[in-house]
Amino acid sequence: MEERRGTDLLERDAVGDTLRVDTRGRRAGSRERRRAVTLLVLTLVLPGSAQVAAGNKRLGRLALRVWAGVLCLALVAVLVGLVSRTTLLSVLTSGVVLVLLQGLLLCLAVLWVVLLVDAWRLGRPDRLPAGDRRRLLVLLLVLLLVPGLVGWLGTTVGTARAAMTSVFGTGEAAGAVDGRYNVLLLGGDSGAGRTGLRPDSIQLASVDAQSGRAVLFGFSRETENIRFRPGSVMAGLMPEGWTCGDECLLNALYTWGHDHADRFPAGTPDPGLLATREAVESLTGLDIQYYVMVDLKGFSSLVDAVGGLDIAVQRRTPMGGGSREIFEWIEPGRQHLDGFHALWYARSRTQSTNYERMARQRCVVTALVKQLDPQTVLLNFGDLAAASKGVFSTDIPQDALAGLADVAVKTKQEKITSVNFVPPLIKPWDYDPAVVRSTVAKAIAASEKAPAPRAAAASPAAKSGAATTSTAPKAAPTPKASTPAVMERPGTDPDANTEDLAGVCSAG
């Protein structure tokens, strides 16, 4: 009995020792696991801290200094943006700053990858069970997505710099005239069966440099009887004006300018554009600082780059027609259009007037501008920059981008006033130029005097029933004749009178 009792005691002691060893092992394994995970998380939150705690302290201190410097730069940028948004935009649109920013982001991404991998090594995964090693490796791969995002931002900055260089020119920025920026917006069409590019959509955006309130003046491409300002280049070339009937239309000036380039002053970069610009200046009485031309042929790629457009389609629009059969219809209602369908919606001619086509083009452009918010631009910038090449052309210099971007931010917060010089406001083939210029002046005056966005008042133009719109979101009801859903008579612009151009065109 004594021998058996002694054997039992020995067995119990052996089991107890085994349990104690196993418990200590589990505790040690748990500590090792927590230590490995902590080092990785520390490196994500505060790069370099893991190395200071358990590795190469020199590398860790260097990384911490770099991280502190980056945080200081970000804080300074935020403070500058709060004090002067224009100053921040000027810095961020500088070519030199973009090069430095791209290099900084790429170096940060590489350094962060090195630190994370080193933190994983410092966690001694070889001492962990196989299951913990696999889980720790998965955690490392997930955390590596963060420096990967930083590297992607670096390449995006490089793409932005390349796009700016290819789209925007050099030179001094033009200042506002009478407190306004006037930008000529041309929608060109170099589609199949056409020689060269012709501006089918002709609009002038006049924006208050302080408030950002904008008036968008639209002109029919069929506008005739244009006489140029005295002293202008075109007045010297055409003393009697562009007045040869229906063969002398507004959009034909672009082609005429290129066909007679030798008659323009030496060094004129784009004679067709100069002719069109001076024609619109004469029609409106405004000085134009810049132009932007969009080639509708490449417009579809730009729409696809932002994920399509949400548009309130007013009328059933055919795809096809003319020399080919109608193969599809864009139905009325709120539609999400990809680039292919958006381009057809903007260009379709069958069963519609030129004025309806102008309205659709205006809606497409308005929807694109409205949906280009900072998040969309950031997430799709690479595709946007690639799509912009060959689609946009402009004489806006890089030095002007900051000021114009600041004004554009204000404009997006305002309702856009729209004035379209088409029937019933005027007959493009028979009109009084003084009426056009006075309407422009009244629309700008009404826009400048418009109440703040929270106020509720109608502009004088809206009350008079002219083809102008109110910038106030709570304007008085628009006259029945301005309702965009029904054309009152053939040949008129169904969207000539709209209280809110973005609200009518866009389904956002």
Torsion of CA 488, 494, 498, 503, to 10 degrees: 130
Is pLDDT larger for residue 13 or for residue 390? Answer: 390
What are 86-95's pLDDT values in tens digits? Answer: 788 888 878 8
- pLDDT for position 374: 56
Rg (CA), the chain: 32
- Lowest-pLDDT range of 14-23, 162-171, 337-346, 417-426: 14-23
- pLDDT for position 26: 57
Q: Please give the average per-residue pLDDT across 392-412, as a whole number.
A: 83
For the chain, what percent of residues have pLDDT higher than 70? 76
- pLDDT for position 49: 93
- Residue 225, classed as helix, strand or coil, is coil
- Lowest-pLDDT range of 31-45, 297-311, 379-393, 423-437: 379-393
Q: What is the pTM of this model?
A: 0.70
For residue 326, give every residue at least 6 positions away whose Cβ sits within 8 Å of its Cβ, in sequence order, or none: 318, 319, 320, 350
- Lowest-pLDDT range of 203-217, 299-313, 314-328, 363-377: 363-377
Reported as a pLDDT band with limits 50, 70 and 90, residue 231 is: very high
Core vs surface per residue 458-491: b (16+ CB within 10 A) or e: bbebbeeebbbbbbbeebeebeeebebeebeeee
- Lowest-pLDDT range of 138-147, 182-191, 446-455: 446-455
What are 324-338's pLDDT values in tens digits? Answer: 788 899 999 899 999
Residues shown for the chain: 508
Is pLDDT larger for residue 396 or for residue 18? Answer: 396
- pLDDT for position 470: 38
- pLDDT for position 401: 83
Check pLDDT > 50 for residue 461. no
What are 300-309's pLDDT values in tens digits? Answer: 888 888 888 8
Q: What is the mean pLDDT of the chain?
A: 79
Check pLDDT > 70 for residue 460. no
- pLDDT for position 292: 86
Structural domains in the chain, CATH included, are 19-167 (no CATH), 180-505 (3.40.630.190)
Residues 132, 310: Cα–Cα separation, whole Å = 48
CB neighbours of residue 379 within 10 Å: 13
- pLDDT for position 11: 55
Q: Please give the average per-residue pLDDT across 219-245, as a whole number.
A: 93
Residues 204, 439: Cα–Cα separation, whole Å = 14
What are 48-69's pLDDT values in tens digits? Answer: 999 999 889 999 999 999 999 9
- pLDDT for position 115: 96
